[in-house]
Amino acid sequence: MNFPLPDFFPASAEIFVLVMACVVLLADLFKSERQGWLPYLLTLATLAGALAIQVGTAGADTTLTFSGMFVDDRLSDVLKSCLYITVFAVVVYSRDYLMARGLERGEYYLLVLFATLGMQVMISANHFLTLYLGLELLSLAIYALVALDRESARSTEAAMKYFVLGALASGLLLYGMSMIYGATGTLEISAIARKLSDPATNMDVLRFGLVFLVAGLAFKIGVVPFHMWIPDVYHGAPTAITLLIGSAPKLAGFSMAIRLLVDGLPTLAVEWQQMLMMLAVLSIALGNVVAIAQTNVKRMLAYSTISHMGFMLLGLVSGVIELRASGDIQLSYAFGSAMFYTIAYVLMSAAAFGVLLLLTRAGVEAETLDDLKGLNRRSPWFAAVLMMVMFSMAGIPFFIGFFAKLAVLQAVVAAGYLYTAVFAVMLSLIGAFFYLRVVKLMYFDEPLDTAPLVASSEMRALLSVNALAIAVIGLMPQSLLTLCATALGQAMK
Amino acid sequence: MDFQTAVFYFLSTILVVASLRVITARNPVHAALYLVLSFFTAGGVWMLLRAEFLAIALVLVYVGAVMVLFLFVVMMLDINIERLREGFWANLVPGLIVAGLMLAEMFAVLGAKYFSAGAAPAPEAPAMDYSNTKELGRLIYTEYVYPFELASVILLVAIIAAIALTMRKRKDTKFQEPAKQIAVRREDRVRLVSMPAEKE
């Protein structure tokens, strides 16, 4: 029996994160009372190390390893680097909040690291099996994190809802995958794409599976009509956990959509683009309109997530896939715009929840719009930070959110969906109301609570950098846009 | 009908009846026992398909471990199943109608031509010295080693999550820590206070 040892080199970042997660597990067990900071620093070191490894091992080629189940390409390098940076920021923002509530335990860091590992696996998946396992690794860690605050009945309820609906979504996804396996006889994503041009492949069964695949995907990224869990979970989870759910997993969700639909089923694009179009239009409409009625900032941001994910899907809808005679796939610029939108959204969402975390302290939650009143009196700089985030989310020039919307809308118009673009712009204008309302409350209302903000200096520094990134990338979006476009273009070769 | 087919129908009948009894039995302990029976019979059906490793694993893992645990839970929790199942019969008819409609729709779309026994040709019968267990082991540790390791990480996360959510330090328990008792120093217990001498 001969078996060539798989090439571990492309997966070195995953292996590093796994080993370090086990180190954190042991360190947390054996640390003394005075070393409470140990898991925190180790987690940050792990994420920084993973970023260094990812950048260091990034190559121009697409490498497959572990019997074709793992793919290392430019797309995964870019997305995973964004992932580490995002989780790093999440951990730094969350520490004070968790400590004030007695939740800052080793388990938090462990579950965050395992969730990161799950997202890495999803981003690099070239096989339905590994994609699914990565998704479950991510989801299980997040279910537990949502329920981490056992004293809170609301958190427990949110975790229960998330768990049950998440299991249902996994079921849908698995059912779709099994149908596609039945039609093509393989689970490997690139092999499925090759099978599509085979006339013996049963297209009806494939389409049947595709419906379930899209439904499961829509559930996981939370777009209408599979969005019911998003507001409840965002609202019920501790704010630090909402920050995690609302940021990094969007990157993994985007990668899941690309791997499943664009990589795996490119010639069925006519079908899945129709489905995604409906999801996108409904999400943009419902997200922007219902957010107006919210008085809770976390719920408002949840509905804003739904509309933003709808916008991201518009980018996927307008992408054109050409099959070259050589077997290569040529992707239009639209997919790059969707990726840019995702990265931009993650940046904005991390900063928005970061400011909410900044406003909390022991025994005080900052959740409602009233808590934001008069923030300018309390801290002019962080009021400016939140203003930048809100302007960016509303799509006001010249912040990153504006260019993200512009890039997607350009792609939508280029694909010939003029009325969809007009509709999206109209609803973004409606949505701008609730973003601007936050700015009005911060600058023109009297604060209800005049206590100074308490936050560690590293959190203030990182939050400032995060906000500046929103502004600076907004001024020169071209390099990131090009990076996204080339990463996606290279991934398909 | 040859012997194998007869065995198949015999086992299938038991399986179907036992599975039905799982959801219709009034006593939860009986339901759990019927589940044991259906697992055991399913193991027999798999054996007929020459999947002997899966059959043994099913009996060992599900019957031997999972169901015993299940029985314990059912007996200890003393759930009032009757209350949970109120309205079961009332909802049965609309439920069956919806399920039937969905099934009919799926048949209409897909038809029997894709999923009938003829659509997928039966695999070739393996050689007599072919071992399922060996093949499974070979594949898991070579080709599928990456998902196998991922599954183990998921189990680790499950353990961590379960402990994080359920373990609590009880503040009111009274116990002695010998290490602390030994490590105690005089300064911890005795405080010397200098006081000015008092005059009469």
The predicted pLDDT at position A236 comes to: 93
Whose CA is closest to A361, among A454, A450, A262?
A454
Yes or no, beta carbons of B109 and A114 under 8 Å apart: no
ipTM of the complex: 0.91
Q: Around Cβ B172, how many Cβ atoms within 10 Å?
A: 4
Give burial (CB, 10 Å; 0-12/13-18/19+) of B2: exposed
Chain segment A115-164, per-residue pLDDT in tens: 999 999 999 999 999 999 999 999 999 999 999 988 889 999 999 999 99
Give me the DSSP letters along B3-67: HHHHHHHHHHHHHHHHHHHHHH-SSHHHHHHHHHHHHHHHHHHHHHTT-HHHHHHIIIIIIIIIH
Put simply, the answer to whether A148 touches B151 (Cβ < 8 Å) is no
Could you give phi then psi for residue A332, rounded to 5 degrees? -80, 170
Mean pLDDT estimate for chain A: 90
pTM of the predicted model, to two decimals? 0.89
Contacts of A341 (CB under 8 A, 6+ apart): A308, A311, A312, A315, A404, A405, A407, A408
d(CA A127, CA A251): 18
Residue A331 has pLDDT above 70, yes or no: no
Which comes out higher in pLDDT, residue B98 or B169?
Answer: B98
Ranges for all domains in chain B classified under CATH 1.20.120.1200: 1-80
Query: What distance in Å separates the CA atoms of residue A104 and residue A87, rounded to the nearest whole number?
Result: 16
Which of B151, B163, B165 comes nearest A147 by C-beta? Answer: B165
A330 pLDDT tier (thresholds 50, 70, 90):
low
**Helix ranges (DSSP H) in A222-296:** 229-236, 239-246, 248-257, 269-292
Q: How confident is the model at residue B85 (pLDDT cuts 50, 70, 90)?
A: low
**Cβ atoms < 10 Å from Cβ of A322:** 10
Distance CA A149, CA A155 (A): 7
Per DSSP (E only), the strands in A40-88 are: 63-65, 70-72
pLDDT digits (tens, 9 = 90+) for B112-149: 666 666 666 777 777 778 888 888 889 899 889 999 99
Task: State residue A230's pLDDT score.
Answer: 95
Residues A67-118 pLDDT 10s: 889 999 889 999 999 999 999 999 999 999 999 888 888 899 999 999 999 9
| DSSP codes joined into one string, A287-305 | HHHHHHT--BHHHHHHHHH
Neighbours of A222 (CB within 10 A): 27
pLDDT value of position B176? 80
Which residue's structure tokens are 């039945």?
A: A182
pLDDT above 90 covers what percent of chain A? 66
Average pLDDT for residues A309-337, to the nearest whole number?
A: 77
Question: What is the nearest CA distance from B167 to chain A, expressed in angstroms?
Answer: 11
Q: Determine the residue of chain A that is closest to B141 in CA distance.
A: A3
Cross-chain residue pair A144–B164, CB shorter than 8 Å: yes
Show residues of chain B in contact with A150, CB under 8 Å: 165, 168
| Residue A116, pLDDT score | 97
Are the Cβ atoms of B143 and A67 closer than 8 angstroms? yes
Q: Reply yes or no on whether the pLDDT at A166 is more than 70.
A: yes
Is the bond preceding residue B94 a cis peptide, omega within 30 degrees?
no
Please, which pLDDT band fits residue A460 given cuts at 50, 70 and 90? Answer: very high
pLDDT for position A322: 67
pLDDT band at B199 (very low <50, low <70, confident <90, very high): confident
Which residues of A fall within a CB distance of 8 Å from B143?
Answer: 3, 67
Using beta carbons and an 8 Å cutoff, which residues of A are at the interface with B?
1, 3, 6, 18, 25, 66-67, 69-70, 105, 107, 110-111, 114, 117, 121, 127, 129-130, 133-134, 136-137, 140-141, 143-144, 147-148, 150, 182, 202, 204-205, 208
Give the model's confidence band at B73: pLDDT under 50 very low, under 70 low, under 90 confident, else very high.
confident
Q: Quote the CA–CA distance of A202 and A185 in Å, as a whole number.
A: 11
Cα(A152)–Cα(B127) distance, rounded to whole angstroms?
Answer: 60
Q: Domain extents for chain A?
A: 9-491
Average pLDDT score over residue span B91-115: 82
Q: Which fold has domain B1-80?
A: Four Helix Bundle (Hemerythrin (Met), subunit A) (1.20.120)
Residue with tokens 């019957």, as numbered in its chain: B63
Answer yes or no: do A208 and B109 touch at CB < 8 A. yes
- Per-residue pLDDT, A199: 81
Q: In the structure, what pLDDT confidence band is assigned to residue A461 with cuts at 50, 70 and 90?
A: very high
Say whether B150 and A130 touch across the interface (CB within 8 A).
yes
Q: Which two structure tokens, joined as six digits, stand for A417?
A: 């969906």
CA distances, A462 to each of A42, A126, A457, A458, A468 (Å): 18, 34, 9, 6, 10
Distance CA A127, CA A124 (A): 9
